[in-house]
Chains A and B, each alone.
Chain A
Amino acid sequence: AQSVAQPEDQVNVAEGNPLTVKCTYSVSGNPYLFWYVQYPNRGLQFLLKYITGDNLVKGSYGFEAEFNKSQTSFHLKKPSALVSDSALYFCAVRDALSGGYNKLIFGAGTRLAVHP
């Protein structure tokens, strides 16, 4: 069965420092991985996805994520955090073996707080 774990409920970072939001996954086949961000009282905004190829994926707003197959991880990173990055971040996975009828599985979310 597919699953996604975001081990940290909250991550606190000082503005200007690098940030990392962790995600690990479990699937039977090759994973398709996604990151979304949710601002208060808003829907989810797509940040980036990993399908295949280069393990470092670049996305919106200066975010990037590194796919690590051996560690089954897909951590979200940003070199220099902004206060405006404060939001709820969700990692999601879909199993390539299960075909298009397989649903997207989301992690529980990690709240990122960037302090001035």
Chain B
Amino acid sequence: EAGVTQSPTHLIKTRGQQATLRCSPISGHTSVYWYQQALGLGLQFLLWYDEGEERNRGNFPPRFSGRQFPNYSSELNVNALELEDSALYLCASSLQGRLSTDTQYFGPGTRLTVL
């Protein structure tokens, strides 16, 4: 069974540009989560999508946004990039996100570098 996939693996942008990151969940999973792993800041929850809708959002500015498509894949968009947005962005998926016991399975991540 294929795991969570993310593309691209690496992304280099300059300050002020926009970045788009993509995620495909494990087959059958309907929930997708996005996390930011920046140096020294640990894993920070960004967004949760379930059944096509945004269900929860972390403490990030509105320039971080995303969506979930009918096939449950997801896209994270970061507008007006700042240097501190440089991080590893991890996507996770789960089978039943509205269950507190649900396990999240992670993809390999996209390394975003902002110059």
Contacts and interface: CB of A to CB of B under 8 A. Distances in A.
Given A46-B105, A51-B101, A103 B48 contact: yes
A112 to B, nearest CB: 16
B43 A90 contact: yes
Contact of B100 (A43, A45, A100, A106): A100
A41 B6 CA distance: 13
Contact of B45 (A34, A41, A43, A103): A103
Contacts of B92: 44
Contacts, number: 58
A99 B98 CA distance: 7
Interface residues of B, number: 27
A32 B103 CA distance: 10
Contact of B108 (A42, A51, A106): A42
B90 A43 contact: yes
Contacts of B107: 43
B102 A100 contact: yes
Interface in B1-50: 4, 6, 33, 42-43, 45, 48
Given A43-B108, A44-B106, A46-B103, A100 B97 contact: yes
12 contacts: A41-B111, A42-B109, A43-B109, A44-B43, A44-B92, A51-B101, A95-B100, A101-B98, A104-B33, A106-B42, A106-B43, A109-B42
Given A96-B100, A100-B97, 17 more contacts: A34-B103, A42-B108, A43-B4, A43-B107, A44-B90, A49-B103, A94-B100, A95-B100, A98-B100, A100-B98, A100-B102, A101-B56, A105-B45, A107-B42, A108-B42, A109-B42, A109-B43
Interface of B: 4, 6, 33, 42-43, 45, 48, 55-56, 58, 90, 92, 96-109, 111
Interface of A: 32, 34, 36, 41-46, 49, 51, 90, 94-96, 98-109
